[in-house]
Amino acid sequence: MARFIFITGGVVSSLGKGLASAALGSLLQARGFTVRLRKLDPYLNVDPGTMSPFEHGEVFVTDDGAETDLDLGHYERFTGVPACKTDSVSSGRIYSDVLEKERKGDYLGKTIQVIPHVTNEIKDFIRIGEDDVDFMLCEIGGTVGDIEGLPFFEAIRQFSHDKPRGQCIFMHLTLLPYLAASGELKTKPTQHSVKELQSIGIAPDILVCRSEQPIPEKEREKIALFCNVRKEAVVPAYDLKSIYEAPLAYHREGLDQAVLDAFNISPAPRPDLGIWQDVADRIHHTEGEINVAIVGKYTQLEDAYKSIKEALTHGGMANRVKVNVDWVDAEVFDTEDPAPHLEGFHAILVPGGFGERGTEGKIKAAEFARTRKIPYLGICLGMQMAVIEAARNLARMEDAGSEEFDFEAGKKRFTPVVYHLKEWVQGNHTVSRKVTDDKGGTMRLGAYDAVLKDDSKVAEIYGTTRIEERHRHRYEVDLRFQKALEEKGLIFSGMSPDGRLPEIVEVEDHPWYIGVQFHPELKSKPFAPHPLFADFVRAAVDVSRLV
């Protein structure tokens, strides 16, 4: 039966609870334990699938088709444990399930209340799979005191009492602000945050304190005294050059030992940190650098492309180079020559996205990369833009476009090279969708197989002709145009097993030009870089040596 670690946050948001949770999970793995990480989000959306990336960053998709918080990406990247639907839940999902049960009469006519019905639903969610791992780490989104988070805090308080003594602990992440005027670290915000947590019946066992300055011993003693925790359980968390230094940094500060002590696990298994030492070595000892342009529409918020940024970093580790990423707003050259904005880059990546805004700029970026022989990786919409560009400029379909923006914008005449995906095979059944369907959860989501051409570039990169990758899209390249495009050099090198859906395209007379309908970035890890990103960075390194 699993031991449970509940991770909460205070003072301010974005302190790094997800990163701390992921790093702790990796440290417990290094000591030989099995782990699973979960995110409990208080927002009322059922999931982040319909939320703007400006609101919540990227949507991380699991193999089983769940649209989840980006923190699950951290969990996977640090532990290698594939996330699933039961690893993410929101208030919206909890309330939706409670109301559905009420409508069915499952509560036998009782008055439905937050306590016990909503809290019981949360506890039932936390229990899923508890017999499968040694440790279950559950991160509560937001900060203590948020009104929408109160049912979750009450649920984990109850949960800890339901379990035998010593099976649950609480880890609280806070901020120690530094006041330059007085030259002091202030502990009072942490004290108030812990007091707020204690007021709802939760006493933290471990405090993780974010700080830009070293925390003096006397300040750790003060925090321990006023917050009623052991001094050894006050763990500093300093800013790092790379997030992938976090496991080693937290180990140096004693976080994993503090957790094992809280559970009275003694003697503690010795950790094997070889993987993370190798990762740190690749971060700090590079043999060059490359510049990659990400041409997108959400460039004002880097978290919108979090997994892509990290996958490029992993590709850099595989090649021992530093990857410098520049975020280029596709709208800037919707009506301009892209050359002034893209010259000097060693590679260009066009990521996924939705809607018409910035699409002409992305098409121009694809053309620039194709004609200038610059490595190009198009992901999801980025692949569709590459196909539309080839249709317009190679196959002479000047009005080539997509139903996603041309039809919905009311354009009367265009060639729908990209169309609304009406049906596809999922497992043993066919899924059908209409344009008028709800937006949330109605896309082709999750892991699907693809079959690669034997002599293709991608088959060489993957080292196999059968792959499985994660998808999130509702539009697809129309196979009616395959012959015309292949005659001009755009090869359909990856297809769904039934041969009905294009998965990968590549330009045959180009050093590296690949578009994929799936999201390879979601499966990349620092200790196991995705082969597409590793080879994409390798191709960019080759270009940098020619400059």
Residues marked active site are found at 380, 519, 521
Q: 466 pairs with which residues across the strands?
A: 451
State the CB neighbour count (10 A cutoff) for residue 544: 16
Q: What is the DSSP letter of 268?
A: P
CB 90 within 8 A of CB 43: yes
CB 514 within 8 A of CB 534: no
Provide the angle, in degrees to the nearest 10, between the axes of the packed helices 381-393 and 359-372. Answer: 70
Residue 67 parent element (H or E) = strand 67-68
Mention every residue, 6+ apart, whose C-beta is less than 8 A from residue 458. Answer: 452, 493, 494, 504, 506, 514, 532
> Phi and psi dihedrals of 274, rounded to 5?
-60, -40
- 3-state class of 384 per DSSP? helix
Dihedral angle over CA of 242, 248, 249, 251, nearest 10: 160
Cβ(394)–Cβ(489) below 8 Å: yes
Per-residue burial over 497-523, b = 16 or more CB atoms within 10 Å of its CB, e = otherwise: eeeebbbbbbbeebebbbbbbbbbbbb
